[in-house]
Amino acid sequence: YHAQTIACKNCGPQIFLKYGEKIIEGEKAIWKAADLLNNGKIVAIKGIGGYHLACLADEEGKAVKRLRGILGRPQKPFALMARDIEMVEEIAFINDKEKDMLLSYIKPIVLLEKKKELPYVAPYLHNYGIMLPYTGLHFLLFKKIVFPLIMTSANLPGRPIIYSEEEIENIGADAILFYNRRIWQRCDDSIVKFIGKQPVLVRRSRGFVPSAIKIDFKTVNILATGAEENVVACLLKDGYAFMSQYIGHVVHLETFEFFKEAVNHLVGLINFEAGAIACDLHPNFLTTKYAEEMAKEKNLPLFRVQHHHAHIAKVMAEYGLKEAIGIAMDGFGYGDDGMAWGGEILYSDLAHYERLCHLQYHAMPGGDAATKYPLRMLAGILGKEAEEFLIERSNAFPYGEKEVEIVLKQARNAKIKTSSCGRLLDAIAALLDVCHKMHYEGEPAMKLESVAKKGRDTLHTEPVIKNNVIETKEMVQQIFENRDKEDKVNLAYSAEEYIANSLAMAAIEKAEEMGIKSIVIAGGCAYNEHITLRIKEKVEKEGMKFFIGRLLPCGDGGISFGQAIVANERMKGRC
């Protein structure tokens, strides 16, 4: 880690620790910070792309519990930093491929199965997100620390990572360890999860950006803005895709401003001038409105790309596929019919798509409220049949039993319906009392996956597909009827098994009908290892090729790349 530009005793950068009214400098600042961490204090540590909040992740978990209170994150899993592989092996199971990824120059967070439970770190989940030290400062701290550290981005929920000394003052840490070198661009840690033997990106940021992705066909200059959650922008130029760092959920003003800053920075970095703009089909996304303004201001063509088509196109472009049957499974994507899609079988080329089959539509009582409160989604599926069950859990609703009455009425008269795989998993998580309120994105489905890890298929429900619709209500009813007879781990596994088998069956049937040999999977639910590996097994058993993204996240963190690819193909059609 010695480089003259960052290691001069005279010119700096210098290290400082602010603790109360005291400012400690140099080596003493590092040792004092380590001492504070060992004594249960929370220390804000300046990294490469922003601040982390660090505390000891020991058997007592007192500091972790206090950190949750400070950040208002009662359930969201925290990332861990371990001193070395030996420390990782004490708390998690790790294979050679995962070890290689942890040790790579990228130093991402890698999701690993728990071996030892550390209190409050990743509640009710089967895995930890663990990374190794990647700055000299990290290595020095671990000379004095014998436990793993929580190393979570210093930001309030939904806001971008803090990167300035002025902002970090108000976060609530006991001390601040920093250096006098300015961070110019925020950049969160990257995250990798292994699906079987294949590494899949959950977040592509530090260590990856701004390295370009090579595209094996001619491109025009396109700016793609992404969706609304896990936003990453994409610039297509000269046969390469340049992705921004992870930005986050742009519903918050601060994050949206960060989005605009990141786009402008990337534009300047590669001397980019857009020839077209691409965005999501959803008319109310802030990224869509930004794209509309940009297209109008610069008099450029604007391409609105359906969410799930973009998901499938991004994987197709990675592998150089001309056409494929796509399985798009996620939480939400605006559909051509105005409904909330998310469990789709699509025929796709790089310019167009056709919806061939989908999961059964269910009511979303209260719209977005059904995402935050999964019991609402259960009411949307089972309706009156679940009334007593819902009343027994009325304390999970903000307004209690009265709200249950309203929710059931909304379910009967719902205008908004969804075919979302994510919402279906949420409803099952609520039904099995795994999760009644969503504190962070994907929580119900992630916790359901963790429960299902210990299960087996005891229901053996055969897929039912009628008129190109995969029936799911009967499966949920079957789980509802067996909830007191079967172990919840088996019911959770059975539900995931049904979803995987039915999506695989539908995709294989359509591929055979159309003479297509490639089946692509994408969307946030593709991170569910059980579902994805079961689909892969079914597809390959039929002699077809299965593809999942390698270079970009399965979820919305890679969707701007798909938007850019679709827009690029449509631009060719205009020429």
Strand ranges, E, within 222-339:
222-224, 234-237, 240-243, 276-280, 302-305, 323-334
Predicted confidence at residue 120, as pLDDT, reads: 97
Other CB atoms within a 10 A radius of the CB of residue 20 amount to 7
Distance CA 559, CA 553 (A): 8
Assign residue 424 a region: left if phi > 0, alpha if psi is -120 to 50, beta otherwise? alpha
Could you report the per-residue pLDDT of 40-61, keeping only the tens digit for each?
A: 999 999 999 999 999 999 999 9
Q: Tokens standing for 440?
A: 């962070």
Radius of gyration of the chain (CA): 24
Distance of alpha carbon 408 from its chain centroid, rounded?
31
Distance CA 518, CA 546 (A): 6
Predicted confidence at residue 2, as pLDDT, reads: 63
The overall pTM is greater than 0.85: yes
Architecture (CATH level 2) of domain 212-310+553-574: 2-Layer Sandwich (3.30)
Could you report the per-residue pLDDT of 473-500, keeping only the tens digit for each?
A: 999 999 999 999 999 999 999 999 999 9
Question: Which amino acid would we find at residue 129?
Answer: G
Please check whether residue 417 is in contact with residue 363, taking contact to mean a CB–CB distance below 8 angstroms.
Answer: yes
What's the full length of the chain, in residues? 575
Tell me which fold the domain 362-548 belongs to: Nucleotidyltransferase; domain 5 (3.30.420)
- Tell me the CATH number of domain 4-202, given options 3.90.870.40, 3.40.50.300, 3.60.15.10, 1.10.150.80: 3.90.870.40
For the chain, domain boundaries: 4-202, 212-310+553-574, 362-548
**At 156, is the secondary structure helix, strand, or coil?**
coil
Predicted confidence at residue 573, as pLDDT, reads: 72
Closest CA to 81 of 140, 147, 157, 125: 147
Please check whether residue 558 is in contact with residue 246, taking contact to mean a CB–CB distance below 8 angstroms.
Answer: no
Q: At what angle do helices 253-269 and 286-298 cross, to 10 degrees?
A: 40
Distance CA 461, CA 443 (A): 25
Predicted confidence at residue 574, as pLDDT, reads: 67
Distance of alpha carbon 40 from its chain centroid, rounded?
30
Identify the segments of the chain with pLDDT beneath 70. 1-2, 574-575
Distance CA 357, CA 336 (A): 14
Please check whether residue 444 is in contact with residue 379, taking contact to mean a CB–CB distance below 8 angstroms.
Answer: no
